[in-house]
Amino acid sequence: MNLLRFRFELRAVGEVAPWGRDELTLHWFGLTEGWYWVEAGGVRLLRFAADHEIPYVDYYVVRLWEDLLAVLPAAVEEVPADLVGFVESDGSEWKDTESDVADLAMEWWGSRSVYFGYLREAPSLRCWRIGDQVILDWKAPANFAEPRTVRTTVAVAEFVAAIKDLDAALITAMDARIAEVEAAPPAGIALDLTQLRSEHRDRAGWLARARSRVLTTDWIAVRQGAVQLMR
């Protein structure tokens, strides 16, 4: 069985860079500064090729968490057999087609992509369900370490469990981090502790909301759009 894990480390509170110029601030998003990677198919993804002290994506861990929650409902929606070829395509040979159904089909295809557009040279990680399996398709430019192309499969339950594990780890780590700044607020940095706790409580429910989201896919339109793009 292939193991899937979404891993991260948070930078120490004293090393987190505050936001702003005239007034330095911090908030929930900013306090997630750290680095992260994905373990899938026996390899580590989001690892850079260059020899850095921290070889993984060095950014706000909340981005990986948010974008996985965003992709989760589509990733676990089973792809009908006649759309497997379309979802597996990389878009490079699609026809230049302008129509509402083509737009809808492209949106349906794109909803299975984890967003990495905040990186200078962004990789691609797409996830879609065939039967009781989720296929993870990774493609990365040369700034990332080998392998730059990976396609691996995990059970749907394992895919969901990996996101649940990330959610639990991040929420727990941020709860401890908030307690730390409540006990000793960083000097010279504006930090609304009441808002921080309120946002933390809200974000603790994001996974449940993502899992309860029901997609209303217009399969007729998606099929029509796929035919137009692939013909």
For the segment 124-175, what is each residue's pLDDT rounded down to a tens digit?
A: 999 999 999 999 999 999 999 999 999 999 999 999 999 999 999 999 999 9
CA distances, 119 to each of 60, 108, 141, 144, 207 (Å): 12, 23, 11, 12, 24
- pLDDT at res. 51: 84
Interval 10-51: pLDDT, tens: 999 999 999 998 899 999 999 999 999 999 988 999 999 988
- pLDDT at res. 2: 56
pTM of the model: 0.95
- pLDDT at res. 86: 97
The angle at the Cα of 130, spanning 128 to 136, to the nearest 5 degrees, equals 40
- pLDDT at res. 53: 86
Return phi, psi of residue 134, to 5°.
-110, 125
Comparing C-alpha atoms, which of 201, 180, 153 is closest to residue 42?
153
Average pLDDT over residues 186-215: 96
Q: Strands, E, within 48-132: which ranges?
A: 57-60, 113-114, 124-130
